[in-house]
Structure formats: structure tokens, C-alpha cells
Chains A and B, each alone.
Chain A
Amino acid sequence: MRAYLSWLLIALLLVLAILAPIGQGNYITYVLTSWLVFSIAAMGLNLTLGYAGQISLAQASFMAIGAYTSALLTLAGWHWMAALVPALLLCFVVGLVLGYPALRVKGHFLAFVTLAFNTLVFLVLRNEDWLTGGNYGLSGMPRPDFGFVSTMKQHNFYYFTLAITVVAAAIMWWIVRSPWGRGFKALRENPIRAESLGVDTRRITLLAFAIGSTYGGLAGALISPLVQFIEPGSFAVGHSLRILLMVVVGGAGFFFGPFLGAGVVILLPELLRFTEGYYLIIYSALVIVMLVFTPRGLIGLWGMLRDRFFGKPQIRADVEQGPKLK
């Protein structure tokens, strides 16, 4: 019954996502597309933070690697789909290379190392202008053309992004339910027990980090044809923080958390236009309040309300269940 309901909900959301841009202008469609793109980035970070319990502040730099790689290749005449492969591979490899030393340390140390990495990537993008265009960035990336349909139109590009998001989400769905996806959860719930049962914690954490980074790269590869202009400032540390807050606000460790969180972060400013400059002040204050009262994010809040009104399902009292931030 529960499974049936959740499939119905997913189908309903998908229909909504398909219907959303119909009759809307280019700007709204653009905002919706960037919601999808950031959902992908947040989904990747959710794997690292929510499932494997490692805080990473480098997601924007992986977006940068994906964006610049695909932009340079498409500008050189490659098709976007062809450029995607090296972009994702590069992110995966960089994720492994960064994660291998960085995951020797945990928690706050990892936050600093990834923060440092993001700043380094930013500096390289800004200073190596023979490759990246420096502060002026790169512009005029062509959008992918599939012969029978071109994505130059905003609506077509939205559906193209939606298709990619669905594929990426399906792969993530499979990852978190595969044997080593369950390993991530075991690691989060009880690392000592996980290790004693033969889960190679270090290897799967590293893999989670690298796969999460690859999702960041995918989001970056979508940003460059969406905006058709990229510059180092779009991938600064502040943006990593923004993606991290998406994951936390939505609910770290919940599959749909990133979509909700990205929706809040991307769409709320549009709704709160009237607050003008105070938007970020209100938002950050709300995040602090949320962490005080419901550290499991908006989805966690929903679960809390549901438990209060419909009663809590009885589980073994000695097992702490469900996603939570460490």
C-alpha cells in the first residue's frame, strides 16, 4: 500500500514537472530549468552528506569543472552529449583524487579541505585566462541539437533537462538501493557496526564522494548551455554553501530532499521579491531556526507532523532510525 502510494506520488510529480512550463514565459521556464539543474547538484551532495555523512563544501567547484570542460569542448565543435563523457569522467577522477587524502580526516576538517579546494579551483579559473577566459569567462556555448529537435528554445531545453534529471534520479535511486548504497546507510547509522560487518567504510565513502562530485559535474555541464555564459564567480565558495543549504533545508538523507531544497532556494526568491535585499537575511535566519527545531529539514518536519497526528509507527526502540545529520 505504502509503496503503491509513493509510486503514484512520483508519477504525479513527474506529470506536474511536465505541465509546469506550459503557457509560461521564457523567464519562468528558465527558473524551472535552473531548479532542475541545482536539484541534480544537490542530489549528488545528498549522497555525500545525507547518505555517507561527509560534509563537502566543494560541490560548486565540481560544477565548475563540469561546466568548463563541456563548454570548452562544445565551443571546439563537439556535440554536448560527447562532451559530457569527458566532463563527468574528469569530475569522477578529481573527486577520487581529492577525496582520497581528504577523507582521511572527518567532519569539520573535511569541510575545510573541500572549502580550500573550491577556492583553489576558483583561483585557477580566474588566473589561467589562456584557457578559461579569466574574469570574462566563456560565452556562446551552443545548446545540444538532436537533428529532429533543437534545444535552442527555452521550453525544449527544459524538457531536455527534465529527461536528464529523471535519468540521473533513477540512477541515484538504484545507487542508494544497491548493496553498497545500503553500505552508505549502514555507515551513517552505525559506523562501528558497519565496519565490523565487513563494510569497507573508507572505500564506499570515497565512492560516495566521487559519485556525488560527478553529479555536480553533470549539473555544471547543464548550466553552461542553459546560461550560455560561465565565469569563475558563478562557482565561488558561496555557491557551494548554497547547494549545501539546499540539501539541509530539503532534508539530508531523504531521496526527495534535494528537489525540495533546491525548489526552496531557487523559487523562493522569486516569490519573496517584495522583501528585496532582506531576502537572504530572512532565509538564513529561517535556516538557523529550522536547525534548532527540526534538524532533519522540511521532509523531516513533515515526518514529525505526521507522527504527531497519525501516531508513530513502532520500531525497535534501541535502533535509531532514519536519516539525520551527524
Chain B
Amino acid sequence: MSQFLQVLLSGLATGSIYALVAIGFTLVWQAAQTVNFAQGEFVMVPAFFVLVGTNILGFPLALSLGLALLLAIALLGAVFKKLVVDPILPSGGISLIIATMALGILLRESVKEFYGAEAQPFPAMFPTNPINVFGAVVSMQDMLNLLISLAVVVVLTLFLNRTRTGRSMQAAAQNPAVAEILGVNVKRMVMYAFLINAALAALASFLITPVYLAKFSNGETLGLVAFIAAIVGGFNQIRGALVGGLLIGVLDNLVATYVTAEYRAALPLILLIFIILVRPQGIMGTSEGRAV
């Protein structure tokens, strides 16, 4: 029983980080119909910004984290929108998907060439000593990751539902034309979605990289898992992305412990195919009209 609790808790901890990435992904999808295939790389890159700060420039960790967050928001949020999304979106969704795939390669290879191909140790922000929760031994780091991610999700939800800007963002996502008529600055709201996405990705990066190491190829699996979390939970719902992320984190750990470790990577994929067959709008999603 304590083993089960242990597996469950560490699954929730990883899952909550997946959820952060999936939420950013969902926000960008809602705001600009952009499916970002470089999302995994967006999580991989900020960790390297931090490493450049601490190892090369010699900044303290806290300063590096802050600067990396700002740099990520500027580059992966604003510059990404201005240079990649805005010019390509008019020529269609598939072109944009392919462009973000190319961007993923670009980021991955750049990190590999300019920083290094080996996995780099990443400074831990929290103590990693194990603590005892009802007989289950889990690391302090995992628990704090879980708490921080959940807190961020709560704050984000409050922001989207309770503030004027948040509601304007929702309006802009649901019906840009009417939102514009009602005085919402739609362009700015779309930009906010990209900035929030970059911030969430950077945050996920800072939380997850101490657990795995910083490596240029980290984004490959992470991006795919986040997409799957978003789709499984429901592509058009933030709480869906949360449920999807947690579900995949927990199921992944349960399967690896109790069923098969060899095919653990297959589980999210099978879940994805199953969900698309049975409930394409996702667990929490509402169905949207689809063109022929």
C-alpha cells in the first residue's frame, strides 16, 4: 500500500509538470489555432539559459532563474509569435505545424552545438532529501514541484476567470470578431497567451530539469507527452489539460511499476489512440464543430 502511495505521489508530481506544459499548449491553441510542435523544446531551452547564467556568466542561481524566465518570455513568447506564427498562420495550419517542427530541430541542434551534447547536471532549487508521507517515501523536491505546479494552475485559473484581462483573453479565444467589436484588444490578448505559454514552459523547465538532467534531446518525449495530455484531457479546456497531465503522470508510473517497464513509453500513445477513437473531444472537453 505504501508502495502504491509512493508511486501515486511521484506520478502526480511529474504529471503536474506535464500539466503546466499542456496548459500553455492549450492556451496558444485557443488563442491563435497554433499547434506548437516545438513545445517540448520550449521546455528544454530555458534550463540552458539558466546554465549559461550560472556556469558561464557566473551569476547566482536566483538571478539566473529570473533572467532565464524573462529571456524565455521574450524569445519563446514574443519573438516566436512575431517571427514564426504571424507570417505563416495565414498560409494555413499545416504550414505552421511544419514550421514549428523545423523550429524544434533548430532549437535542439543549436543547444547541442553551442552548449554541448552531454547531459548537464542542473542545480536543485529544493532539498532532495526523502520525506515520509503516510508511510510512502517521496522526495521533498517532488512534493514541492507538485505544490508549486498546482498553485500556478490555481492562480492562472483565477486570472482567466476573475480578472478583466483574463476574461478578455477568453473572449478573444472564443470569438475574436465579437470580442473586437466589444472593445477587446484581440491582438494583445493573443500575445498574452504566447507570453503565458512561454512562462509556463520556462517554469516547467526549472521544475523538471533537476529531476532528469539538462539535455538537448529532453524536449522530444516531453513535448509529445504534453500534447497527449492536452488532447486526452480535452483540447479546449484548461482543467482538461490539468486532468490529462496528472492522469498520464500517474498511469505512466503505475504501468512502469506494476505492468511493464519496457513498454512504459507506449502507454500515453495507446491512451491517445483510445481517447481519439472513443471521445475525440477529450475527457473534460466539450465537442467543437469540425469542418468536413
Contact = CB atoms under 8 A, between A and B. Distances in A.
B273 A113 contact: yes
Contact of A108 (B97, B220, B269): B97
A116 B112 CA distance: 25
A169 interface: no
A244 B101 contact: yes
Interface residues of B, number: 43
A326 B94 CA distance: 6
A181 B277 CA distance: 28
A234 interface: no
A278 B109 CA distance: 8
A324 interface: yes
B91 interface: yes
B277 to A, nearest CB: 5
Counting chain B CB atoms within 10 Å of each CB, the highest count among A101, A105, A280 belongs to: A280
Interface in A36-75: 49, 53, 55
B109 A325 contact: no
B228 A112 contact: yes
Given A55-B94, A105-B280, A292 B87 contact: yes
A281 B92 contact: no
A113 B35 CA distance: 14
Interface string B106-131: 10011011000000000000000000
Interface string B219-231: 0100010011001
B98 interface: yes
A42 B200 CA distance: 36
A107 B98 CA distance: 12
A73 B277 CA distance: 34
A288 B103 contact: yes
Q: How large is the interface on A (under 10, 10 to 19, 20 to 34, 35 or more residues)?
A: 35 or more
Nearest to A293: B87
- Tell me whether chain A's interface is mostly helix, strand or loop, or mixed: helix
B139 to A, nearest CB: 28
B276 A104 contact: yes
Contacts of A283: 105
Contacts of B273: 101, 113, 116-117
A88 B95 CA distance: 30
Interface stretch (A14-22, A119-127, A211-219): A119-127
Interface stretch (B5-13, B16-24, B146-154, B259-267): B259-267
A201 B280 CA distance: 20
B52 interface: no
A102 to B, nearest CB: 8
Contact of A245 (B98, B263, B276): B98
Counting chain A CB atoms within 10 Å of each CB, the highest count among B35, B224, B269 belongs to: B269
Nearest to A236: B220
A280 B101 CA distance: 13
A204 interface: no
A104 B112 contact: no
B113 A281 contact: yes
Contact of B272 (A112, A192, A201, A248): A112
B213 interface: no
B98 A291 contact: yes
Contact of B262 (A127, A244, A325, A326): A127
A111 interface: yes
Contacts of B276: 101-102, 104-105, 109, 113
B74 interface: no
A191 interface: yes
A292 B88 contact: yes
9 contacts: A49-B94, A109-B231, A127-B263, A192-B292, A284-B109, A285-B106, A288-B102, A291-B91, A292-B99
Given A113-B272, A123-B263, A288-B99, 17 more contacts: A101-B276, A104-B276, A104-B277, A105-B276, A107-B35, A107-B93, A108-B35, A109-B280, A111-B97, A120-B266, A191-B292, A248-B98, A281-B106, A284-B102, A285-B106, A295-B92, A326-B94
Interface of B: 35, 37, 84, 87-88, 91-99, 101-103, 105-106, 109-110, 112-113, 220, 224, 227-228, 231, 262-263, 265-266, 268-270, 272-273, 276-277, 280, 290-292
